Structure 1
Amino acid sequence: MLHSNLLRLVARGSSSRLMSTATKLTTVEVNDETGIATLTMNRPPVNSQNVQLLLDLQASISEIENNKSRGLILTSAHSNVFSAGLDIFEMYNTDVERLRTVWTELQNVWIALYGTSLPTAAAINGHAPAGGCLLATACEYRVMRPNFLIGLNEAQLGIIAPKWLMSGFTNVLPKRVAERALTQGRMFTTQEAFEAGLVDEIASSKEEAVEKCAAFIGSFAKVNPLARGLTKLQFRADNIKEFEKIREKDVADFAALASSPEVQKVMGTYLENLKNKGKK
C-alpha cells in the first residue's frame, strides 16, 4: 500500500477540467493540479461492453495519451457496477461478422490499455466480471470497494478465455491460483481479491478509490516518465508480441465458438435467468 501522507498530498488538488464529452459512453476529466486523467464509463445500467462503448474507450485512451496526462484512472459512473463485461445481447442470436467485430474491438481496447506507457489504475466501484475484470487487470493498480465481485467467469458461459485475455490476470496472481480460478470461472469477493493480490487496496467509497489510484500514479512523480514507460512495456512485451501473432486466429476462434449452438444455448439460458430475476 502507498503511504497515507502521499495519498493526502495528491488528494489536495480538486481543480479539474472536462476534456471529452463528444463520446456519449465515456468521459475524460483531467485534474489540473495533478495532471491525472479520469476516464469514466457511462453506459447504463451496468457498462456492458457493446461495440460503441469499446470504440469510445479506445478514443478516450488515445485522447489521454495525446493530451500528455501524467496517468490514467479508469472508473465507472454507476454506483454498483464497474463493468459487467461484454454485452451478451451483442453476441446472442447474431451473425458471425458481428461476433468478429465485437471481439476485435475488445482486443483493441485491451491492447490500448495494457500497452499504454502511461501509469494506469482502476478505481473499481462495483462488480467487475469477465470483461470488467479484463479492463481492471490491464491496469497496473487496482483499488476496489467492499462487498463486490471480480473475476474471469467465461468458463461458466462456455467461453474459453484466450491467453491474451488471461495475461493481466496471470500477471497479478500466482499461476496455480489463476489456473484454478479460470477453470472454475471463479468470482472473488473484494476481500478475497485483496488477499489473493488481484486488487491492491480496498476503499470505502468511489472517491477514496480514485484518491488511492491518484496516489499510486503520484508515486512516479520523481521518476523519468520515458524510463518508467519503457520499463513497464518491457515487462509486458512478451504478452503483447504473443497477442499480435495470434490476434486474427483468435477472432476466428471466438466467432466460431460463440456462434456454436451449445454456447448460444448457454447464453440464451443466462439471458432468460436475468429476465426472470428482473420480474421478481
Structure 2
Amino acid sequence: MLHITQHDAITEIQMARPPVNALNLELLSALQEAFSQAVQDGARGIVLSGTQGMFSAGVDIPALLTRDRAEVRKYWREFFVTCGALAHLPIPIAAAITGHSPAGGAVLSLFCDYRVMAQGPYRIGLNEVQVGLIAPDCIQMALRRVVGAYRAERLLVSGALIDAENALACGFVDELVAIDQVTTRALHWLGETVALPSHAMLGTRLIARADLKTTFADIDALPIDTFVDAFFHPQTQASLQALVDRLKNKAK
C-alpha cells in the first residue's frame, strides 16, 4: 500500500493502492505508522506522494457504504486520527500532488506544510457537499488557514473541484510543475527548508501550526458522532450511492 524511499535525510512516503489510492482503514493505518517510523528513524522531512495522475481519490466510499454504523464510526475516527498525525508531525512534510486529489486526498494535503501539484487537467477540492456530506469544522479550519475564510466558504459550500491553475491562484497549492517533476520539486522545497537553522525553523513552525495541533489534540473531542449521523442521512446515502453507480458505469 505504501512505497518508502529515502532521499538522504528526507523520507518519501508514496501511496500505492491501485487503482486510485482510495483511503481505506488499512491505508490510513499504514500512513500513520509510516509517519511515526520516519520520525523515529531520524528523517528531517517527509514527502507524501501519490501515483502519476492520481494523488488520492479520497475516502473509499464503495467499501464504506457496505459497513454498519460502528464500522463507519471506526473509519471516520481513523481518518481524523490520520489528520491528527499530520498535524502533530514534528518535522515538515510536503505534499507531492501527482494528479487528481478530491475530498479526502485534498484534506491530507491541507495538513502538509507545502503543496506541489501537477500541471494539467487535474482537480483538487473538498467536494463533500456534492456527494451529500458535511465537512466538519475541524476540516474546514484546515482549508481556511490555507486559502482564507471567504475563499474557503465559497469552495466548501459549492463543493467545488478546481483545476490546478485555479488551485494555485487561490493558494490551495503553492506551486505547479510538470507531472514528472512534482516529487522532485517537493524534495527541493524540503531540502531548502531543512537546511535552515533547525532550532529556529522547527520552533517557528511549531508556533505557526499551533492551531492545527490544538484542534486535533483530542480526537475523541471532535464531532465524530455528529459526522456519522450526517453520513447516514437519507439524502447523503442516496447521493453517495449515485456516485458509486456513476463510477461503476464509468469503469465499464
- With normalisation by structure 1, the TM-score equals 0.85
- Rounded to whole Å, the distance in 2 between the matches of 1:216 and 1:55 is 27
Residue of structure 2 equivalent to 1:175: 149
Offset at residue 239 of structure 1 (A): 3.4
Deviation at 1:45, TM superposition (A): 0.3
User: What is the number of residues matched between the two proteins?
Assistant: 251
The 8 Å contact of residues 84 and 129 in structure 1, kept in 2 or not, is answered as yes
2:21, 2:233 → 1: CA distance? 26
Do the aligned residues in 1 keep the contact of 2:138 with 2:222 (CA within 8 Å)?
no
| Aligned residues of 1:91 and 1:258 also touching (Cα < 8 A) | no
Q: CA deviation at 1:249?
A: 4.7
* Distance in 1 (alpha carbons) for counterparts of 2:243 and 2:193: 43
The alignment partner of 1:102 has SS state of helix
Tell me what 2:96 maps to.
123
- Which of 213, 227, 233 does residue 260 from structure 1 map onto? 233
Q: Measure, in 2, the Cα distance between the counterparts of 1:154 and 1:106.
A: 15
Of stretches 51-60 and 218-227 in structure 1, the one that deviates more from structure 2 is 218-227
Cα distance per residue 1:18-53 (max 9 Å; x no partner): xxxxxxx11221113xx1110000111000100000
Is structure 2 residue 71 aligned with structure 1 residue 98?
A: yes
1:28 pairs with 2:4: yes
Is the 1:120–1:140 contact (alpha carbons within 8 Å) kept by the matching residues of 2? yes
Measure the CA separation in 1 of the matches of 2:194 and 2:31: 26
Alignment partner of 1:220: what SS? helix
Q: What is the aligned-residue identity percentage?
A: 33
1:165 alignment partner in structure 2:
139
TM-superposed CA distance for 1:241, in Å, is 2.0
Q: What does residue range 24-103 of structure 1 map to in structure 2 within 5 Å? A: 25-32=1-8, 35-76=9-50, 78-103=51-76
Conserved? CA contact 1:117–1:230, under 8 Å: no
How far off is 1:159 after superposition? Answer: 0.9
Q: What is the TM-score when the length of structure 2 is the normalising length?
A: 0.94
Q: Measure how far apart 1:205 and its partner are.
A: 2.3
Q: 1:249 to 1:67 in 2, by over 3 A?
A: closer
Given that 1:125 and 1:205 are in contact with CA atoms closer than 8 Å, whether structure 2 keeps it comes out as: yes
Do the aligned partners of 2:81 and 2:219 also contact (CA within 8 Å) in 1? no
Please give the alpha-carbon distance, in whole angstroms, between the structure 2 residues aligned to 1:205 and 1:92.
33
Q: Is the CA contact (8 Å cut-off) linking 1:115 and 1:233 kept in structure 2?
A: no
Deviation at 1:122, TM superposition (A): 0.8
Of 211, 222, 230, the residue aligned with 2:184 is 211
- When Rg is computed on C-alpha atoms for both structures, the one with the higher figure is 1
1:225 is matched with 198
> Could you tell me how far 1:130 is from its partner in structure 2?
0.5
CA contact (8 A) 1:90 1:98 kept: no
Alignment of 1:189-208 (within 5 A): 189-206=163-180, 208=181
Cα displacement (A) at 1:258: 1.0
Q: Secondary structure at the match of 1:198?
A: coil
Equivalent residue of 2:21, what SS? Answer: coil
Amino acid at match of 2:129: A
